[in-house]
């Protein structure tokens, strides 16, 4: 199953939120090949977050079909999600949150090994290594609720990477970061993408730190795919649209 060359395929996908009449994304056709790195751009409220959450099987699809390495997300969503690392845009952390940064990164491993299994040496090593790469090993024992927004963002990125998924979905992953991390973390994502062959989708509304490995840019507006092209061509069209 995992040998499929197509990582993500959306066919005529529309998503309607409960109580709404208008679909937030509509009639999306999109194919992402294994090992591609794709940027998704678009103005506020254009449907970028909805697109990622729909791919991740977190929202009911109104119309159409999505497969992840050949797994239909409506019928095999749990198996599909084992292959996906997701960094949400609006992760809510209560100030009294008892979980430490280490616990949160380890949750990435649990979502791969199953909550009923005990993490082994390899899981611990993977968590430690990923936290070191993100330079958050000093935060390991601190409760999530006591960290700054930028620190929490790094923990969430580490959680996704520690899972070692086949697919990474990032929703505005650089928005809360300090200027130095805004330069370093895109490079780190680039390295993971290249060395671990992770198919990567990055949603953003700006192009600062655009990654050199980016092969394709998708622009959405009003819930529809307006542009799906090489970065040069897509950016030209994006500028003419905005």
- Which residues would be at the binding site for ligand ADP (CB under 6 A)? 17, 20, 24, 42, 44-50
The residue among 44 and 75 lying less far from Mg ion, judged by its C-beta, is 44
Q: Which does 45 bind (CB under 5 to 8 A by kind): Mg ion, ligand ADP, none?
A: ligand ADP
The residue among 51 and 101 lying less far from ligand ADP, judged by its C-beta, is 51
Q: Which does 20 bind (CB under 5 to 8 A by kind): ligand ADP, Mg ion, none?
A: ligand ADP
The residue among 71 and 157 lying less far from Mg ion, judged by its C-beta, is 157
**Smallest gap from residue 55 Cβ to ligand ADP (A):** 12
Neighbours of 222 (CB within 10 A): 14
**Smallest gap from residue 79 Cβ to Mg ion (A):** 26
Q: Which does 54 bind (CB under 5 to 8 A by kind): Mg ion, ligand ADP, none?
A: none
Neighbours of 200 (CB within 10 A): 26
**How many whole angstroms separate alpha carbon 198 and alpha carbon 7?**
10
Residue nearest to Mg ion (CB): 49
**Smallest gap from residue 199 Cβ to ligand ADP (A):** 20
Closest CA to 157 of 179, 190, 124: 190
Mark residues 25-64: x for contact with Mg ion by CB under 5 A, - for none: -----------------------xx---------------
**How many whole angstroms separate alpha carbon 34 and alpha carbon 69?**
8
The CA-to-CA distance between both ends of the chain, in Å, stands at: 40
**Smallest gap from residue 10 Cβ to ligand ADP (A):** 15
**How many whole angstroms separate alpha carbon 147 and alpha carbon 200?**
27
The residue among 3 and 44 lying less far from ligand ADP, judged by its C-beta, is 44
Closest CA to 139 of 172, 179, 101, 107: 101
Interface of this chain with Mg ion, residues 71 to 130, rule: CB under 5 A: 89
SS3 130: helix
Cβ atoms of 220 and 46 within 8 Å: the answer is yes
**Smallest gap from residue 64 Cβ to ligand ADP (A):** 16
116: Cβ contacts below 8 Å, ≥ 6 apart = none
Q: Which does 50 bind (CB under 5 to 8 A by kind): Mg ion, ligand ADP, none?
A: ligand ADP
**Smallest gap from residue 23 Cβ to ligand ADP (A):** 9
SS3 216: strand
173: Cβ contacts below 8 Å, ≥ 6 apart = 87, 153, 157, 185, 189, 202
Residues that bind Mg ion (CB under 5 A): 48-49, 89
């Amino acid at each position: 199953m995992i040998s499929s060359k197509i990582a993500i395929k959306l066919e005529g996908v529309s998503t309607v939120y409960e109580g709404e009449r208008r679909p937030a994304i509509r009639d999306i056709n999109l194919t992402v090949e294994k090992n591609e790195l794709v940027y998704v751009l678009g103005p506020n409220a254009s449907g970028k977050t909805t697109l990622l959450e729909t791919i991740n099987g977190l929202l009911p699809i109104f119309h159409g079909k999505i497969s992840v390495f050949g797994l239909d997300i409506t019928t095999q969503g749990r198996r599909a999600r084992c292959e996906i690392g997701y960094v949400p845009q609006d992760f809510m952390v209560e100030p009294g949150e008892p979980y430490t940064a280490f616990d949160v990164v380890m949750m990435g491993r649990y979502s791969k090994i199953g909550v009923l299994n005990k993490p082994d040496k390899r899981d611990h090593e993977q968590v430690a290594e990923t936290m070191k790469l993100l330079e958050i090993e000093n935060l390991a024992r601190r409760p999530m609720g006591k960290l700054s927004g930028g620190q929490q963002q790094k923990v969430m990125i580490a959680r996704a990477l520690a899972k070692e998924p086949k697919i990474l979905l990032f929703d505005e992953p650089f928005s809360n970061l300090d200027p130095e991390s805004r330069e370093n973390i895109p490079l780190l994502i680039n390295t993971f993408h290249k060395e671990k062959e992770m198919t990567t989708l990055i949603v953003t509304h700006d192009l600062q730190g655009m990654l050199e490995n980016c092969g394709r840019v998708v622009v959405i507006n009003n819930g529809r795919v307006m542009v799906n092209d090489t970065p040069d061509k897509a950016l030209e069209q994006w500028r003419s649209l905005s």
